[in-house]
Chains A and B, each alone.
Chain A
Amino acid sequence: MPVVGKTAAEIAARAATFRRLAQIQLEHPDFAALNISFRPETANILAECYFALSEAYKIERLPPGSRTNWIKAAALVAATVCAVNPLRPAGRSDSLEWLYINPQFALLCAYGHARSVFLPDRFDEKRRFYQSFQNVVLPSLAPIIAEGNASNGVFKSTWKITLSDSEKSYLDLLVSSFVLLDESGRV
């Protein structure tokens, strides 16, 4: 049981979902042109980090035994993808587009969880929104990412993290912006 409160089967199922979502994302011609690498083992790190983050966020906000609703899960998935950066350069990464590849994949994953497609209207707003996903720092996930890197995505530790106040604030703002964008129904 690599994350407290979650079974190995749940984590494996989520890892499989991330792999399938990455496969879909890599069908995009712009992404295909960038020579992107996505290693299947990375999906284990994504699943592990997602559940650790989700369980920690639930402790802050929900009664014990509750489930996170899907729009909140969408925000947590986006934050996780951006902290992990699963799409890696297989060669040169000097294209401008590279800066936006993981944020765009993060939103693709989030759309699936929110069951809604949303993005601000104007270019500057879109760019700011995507840029807010660049350099996402969630220090509580760093040791999980380090273990995943060291063990090629095979986890032996059981993780239970506690969010710092700044991480909690960031996630609260992200959940709120997703709720607002979803409710505005712009796309």
Chain B
Amino acid sequence: MHSVIRTIASLVAQRGLSRFTRQDGMVDAPSNKNLAGPLVFEPSAIERDSAIREDNDGTRIDDDAVVEYVNQNKGKIFGLQSRFLAELRAKSGGPPKG
């Protein structure tokens, strides 16, 4: 198969617009002295934070279990949906006229 791995480079580039901007070699960012606006942090601080990983507590999603749960709780889920839609209709004054 001649598929191509496609990445979205523009989104990577957007990281430069992040509120927490990385700026290599930065010692004292002038913009940090502003009263408001984006802050610039030392890359090492951001990298140390990014390196912290969450605990691995996931298990494989069981597709049959997902559907079974929804089927078993269909009454409760539909009830919630119906109640909300009924309240919505009541608050809106009913369907449009004409």
Contact = CB atoms under 8 A, between A and B. Distances in A.
B8 A157 contact: no
Given A62-B56, A67-B58, A100 B70 contact: no
A70 B66 CA distance: 10
Given A28-B81, A111-B73, A117-B80, A158 B58 contact: no
Interface in A40-96: 60-63, 66-70, 72-73, 94-96
Contact of A117 (B11, B17, B77, B96): B77
Contacts of A127: 84, 88
Give the size range of A's interface with the partner. 35 or more
A21 interface: yes
Nearest to B19: A165
A136 interface: no
Nearest to A166: B14
B12 A162 contact: yes
Contacts of B77: 107-108, 111, 117
B11 A30 contact: no
A21 B70 contact: yes
Most buried by B among A4, A96, A143: A96
Interface of B: 3-8, 11-12, 14-15, 17-20, 50, 53-54, 56-61, 63, 65-67, 69-71, 73-74, 76-78, 80-82, 84-85, 87-89, 91-92, 95-96
Given A62-B58, A72-B58, 4 more contacts: A24-B74, A60-B50, A111-B70, A157-B3
